[in-house]
Amino acid sequence: MTRRNRTLVKYIWLSLELDEYDCSKCGGHDLRHISKTDNCVIITAMHDLFLTLSTWGPQGDLKLDISIHSPSDSQHWFKYLTFGPDTLPHSQATLGQRDDPEHAWIAGKPSSAPTDAALRHVFAEVLGEPYNAFYDIEQESKWWQTLPEVPAITSVLLRLQNRRRWRPNTLTQMLSRLPRLEEFHYEPWRAWSTNDQTVTDQGYCSLFDSLAPRKLRRLILFENFDEQYSSCFARCDNMRVPDHLVGQAITKASLELEHLSASFIIDVEHFLCAVKSGWNWPHLTSLTLTSQLLSGQQLPIRINDMLEAAASTALKMPKLKTMEIWNGKVGSAALFRYQLKGNDCAVLTWKATWKFTLQPRLIKAWEAVAQANTNGTYFVVREFLDEKITINSHADAINFLELSEVLRPTSLQQILAAHEMRLEGMPQGLGLARTQPTAIHKKPSFSGRYWSKAVRYYTKIVERYLQIPRSHDEVIHMGPQYMARLREAGYDADLIIADSTPIR
């Protein structure tokens, strides 16, 4: 279809639809949230996509947007979820019935938070247990290396409508097949337990370390969260504390960037502490970071000290035009912004829902930044305070603070729509059943020939990369979880134990 006008294609949306599910699985204790069929579709789709796009030569900019969901996600506990491509002005909602007591929806509004089991279902791990096709990370890496490189792709989007979680190690391998990648826009959700977050942060360190030698120009990171969801889990802090090691990895990866925005995934203090002597950012024009100090509950001297330290680091950025440090949550929003306007004006702005005074020494430090980057600049300080505005979520804070590049506009709209529906209820005009999907959202009816090909390929991958340990001791130490996985894959696990020979 695009053979003769391929240069006109600027955006590709890969929409992966998982199996639909009923109420027996939407919030129960069945951990098999992603089935064999789902993994077959995912692996085959990624293979076909990379194989096809590898024949496209580099011709300008080409954006790849990858999404994964089940059409049933918005039919049970999460009726406010919306899903669509990045190009539409409004997300396409697939809404369920207004009254659904079984899922705590009364008169179009949720009467309670979802269960932890329901949340685990929609936040399941992609290519994870128990139907993983790969024995371990090394085997998965070997599979990714069999896929051809795709030089045509220059930008990747992974938006927050992806509640299913791609492991950072998987993303590291995926991005390694894109040699001309210039922009990575990543909007993951936070993990919902301390242990999961620790494992995820370790994966983040590897992911961002792998980006450091790449020729990226733009890196936009936004770790999404929902303060209602965190209250559903016993071992989940209301607001998670960023890991300083992740901050170090992102700081190092930013040295050759033109634009960095990292919201909630790291803290500005970790960025500042990671800076080493001799480091500089020769190309960076825009930097946006979040700070947990900007909560309205910290001592003003700590905030002034942090913002003054940011000015010292800004002196290492000769092309800097904008630096933003912000924070937002229910009931609170704050922004510190330094911005060069034209060649002769620098503006220092404080905007918040709570009182704070920029100290003279802080203003002087940022005047030095402006003087270092321009000639003959005059300096303006602006302060805005609105203690009466209602902030229902971090998305409201983003709107109030007029932040333009911390996440995709479609993603911002989805957060706002979800909170509005939970507070105000589902619109009266929307009926008892699912709305008729538009053509772009119709689930494709794959032919028997396609499924036959997909199953053959998936079976080949499982046979090759779900390798069986040769050591008797190694098999025993893997425990019952691994033995169950072998049985699911069609192996006689008891026979494997009997036949395996101890290492001598």
Residue 450 covered by a domain: yes
User: Is the model more confident about 229 or about 241?
Assistant: 241
Residue 475 covered by a domain: yes
Question: Is the pLDDT at 88 greater than 70, yes or no?
Answer: no
Residue 478 covered by a domain: yes
412-419, Cβ contacts within 8 angstroms, sequence gap of 24 or more? 413/90, 413/91, 414/81, 414/82, 414/91, 414/160, 414/161, 415/160, 415/224, 417/80, 417/82, 417/91, 417/93, 418/80, 418/81, 418/82, 419/392, 419/393, 419/395
Question: Is the pLDDT at 9 greater than 60, yes or no?
Answer: yes
Question: Residue 82 and residue 95: Cα distance in Å, rounded?
Answer: 8
Confidence of residue 403 (pLDDT cuts 50, 70, 90): very high
Confidence of residue 91 (pLDDT cuts 50, 70, 90): very low
Which domain, by its residues, includes 471? 441-499
pLDDT attached to residue 484: 58
Strand partners, 385: 352
pLDDT attached to residue 62: 95
Confidence of residue 72 (pLDDT cuts 50, 70, 90): confident
How many structural domains does the chain have? 1
Residue 452 covered by a domain: yes
30: tokens are 């069945």
Residue 47 covered by a domain: no
Which pTM does this prediction carry?
A: 0.86
Residue 232 covered by a domain: no
Strand partners, 125: 165
Residue 300 covered by a domain: no
User: Is the model more confident about 336 or about 471?
Assistant: 336
Residue 91 covered by a domain: no
